[in-house]
Amino acid sequence: MSHLLRRYQIVVLCVLLAACGTQLLAQTGGVVKVIKIDSKDVGPASSAGVLANQTLYVAGQDGRNADGSLPKDFQQEVGQSLRNVQGVLRAAGMDFGYAVWINIYVTRAQDLAAMNDVYWQSIGDHPPARTVLVVGALPHGENIEINCIAVSSAARRQVIHPPGWPQGGYIDPPGIRADDVLYMSAQGGADPLTGKVAADFAGEVKQALDNVATIAKTVNMSMANVIWVNPYLSSTDAPEDVMNKIYATHFEFGNTPGRGTIQVVDLPNKKHIVFSCIAGADLAKRKSIRPKNEKPSRTASPGILYGDTLYLSAKDAYVPGLGLFTTDLDVQTRLSMRNLLDGLEEADMDFSDVVSSTVYMREMKDADQVHGLYGTFFKDPFPARTTLQQNFDIKAEDVEQISFIAVRQAKH
């Protein structure tokens, strides 16, 4: 590393420290209800759940028992993880029937069948929209982690099934609508009407996006209503540039949804890509958020504000105009948070408005260091946080990515 580059990094770090320190002092807090579970350690810099308006954001729940021990049997670990999720829901006056969107992360593809057996025995008669991913690692050696979004009984909940799509037991609902927000199960490259999988990756991408459009159309929405997308690609035979080229044709330039593109180890049924989406029915409530230092993109907006809820795209340490110029873990984490703060401020928010976060690690061994620094950007209460290692590409330049959901709160 050159002397000049190192000096530049130090200057950038000092500026970030000053800017973020000011932001911390400026936080005033808001009207949210933090859900605490006294019998369960939720890990550093995280709340078990955050209830904002009628929506509950549940942090990633591992399968450890209340005493911190990890069950030796995987199915017991799955069951405990679900009970831990249920504990947060119940502490908020809810249960599984209130869940609208659930994400399940496992570390071994061979465990998917066992996970599904326990899931369907536990989830009840009103399952949420669901995404299942095989990832590289989870904190402290766990084999499963589950997070979710749930809505209170005051919201109108509707199961969405496009005509002709398969229904019945052990089948995830394509979508759950809660008032004017639509949560979709992960959509892959198979035609739901025939079960036929597209012949190549480009075909899978197109079919998956067509599936998303069909779910939206069922409730009189279109792709213009989509506010948040996670494209999850398997680590093999899934070129992101091919996906982006097709993806860009489905959205308006500069007004694309917020997005976190994540390459995972594997997907159920050997899929190469799935799209996990959230959409909002009222286009008058949808606003693209773009800080002035970011150019319009054909593939992702920095964030989408829907009413009072901001969905911020996953950010790493990439600096507009400079690129990803440092491998230093602390500097990268600060730059990621600075980039996220740009989006928050553009929506007239700050870190105190963040209710949910997902931290994607290059290597899980660095998680404690990242969590320690990440936590300094917030005043308690912390957002509901989920952390995972997405794959095994330890040569990637960026050591982490972070995405946020924030809800504008009344400031004191």
CATH number of the domain within which 362 lies: 3.30.1330.40
pLDDT digits (tens, 9 = 90+) for 224-249: 999 999 999 997 788 999 999 999 99
The pLDDT mean for the chain works out to 91
Helices in 100-219 by DSSP H: which ranges?
112-122, 201-218
Give the pLDDT of residue 237: 81
The rounded percent of the chain whose pLDDT value lies above 90 is 79
- Asked whether 111 and 67 are in contact (CB, 8 A), the reply is no
Number of domains in the chain: 1
pLDDT-derived band at 29 (thresholds 50, 70, 90) equals: very low
What mean pLDDT do residues 374-403 have?
Answer: 93
Among candidates 117, 120, 123, which has minimal Cα distance to 75?
117
Q: Is position 395 within any domain? A: yes
Q: Is position 323 within any domain? A: yes
Kindly report whether the peptide bond that precedes residue 383 is cis, defined as omega within 30 degrees of 0.
no
Tally the C-alpha atoms within 13 A of residue 59's C-alpha that lie toward its C-beta.
27
Give the pLDDT of residue 13: 44
Give the pLDDT of residue 218: 98
pLDDT digits (tens, 9 = 90+) for 298-353: 898 999 999 999 999 999 999 887 888 888 999 999 999 999 999 999 999 999 99
Q: Is position 143 within any domain? A: no
Q: Is position 21 within any domain? A: yes
Give the pLDDT of residue 272: 96
What mean pLDDT do residues 279-299 have?
Answer: 93
Among candidates 388, 336, 337, 317, which has minimal Cα distance to 359?
388
The yes-or-no verdict on residue 9 having pLDDT over 50 is no
The yes-or-no verdict on residue 410 having pLDDT over 90 is no
pLDDT-derived band at 180 (thresholds 50, 70, 90) equals: very high
pLDDT-derived band at 412 (thresholds 50, 70, 90) equals: very low
What mean pLDDT do residues 213-226 have?
Answer: 98
Q: Is position 257 within any domain? A: no
Q: Is position 287 within any domain? A: no
The yes-or-no verdict on residue 19 having pLDDT over 60 is no
Q: Is position 72 within any domain? A: no
Give the pLDDT of residue 31: 64
pLDDT digits (tens, 9 = 90+) for 71-123: 999 999 999 999 999 999 999 999 999 999 999 999 999 999 999 999 999 99
Query: How many angstroms separate the CA atoms of 363 and 407, rounded?
Result: 30
| Cβ atoms within 10 Å of 114's Cβ, excluding its own | 17
Q: Is position 9 within any domain? A: yes
| 220: Cβ contacts below 8 Å, ≥ 6 apart | 281
372: containing domain: 1-33+312-412
Give the pLDDT of residue 411: 63
Give the pLDDT of residue 1: 42
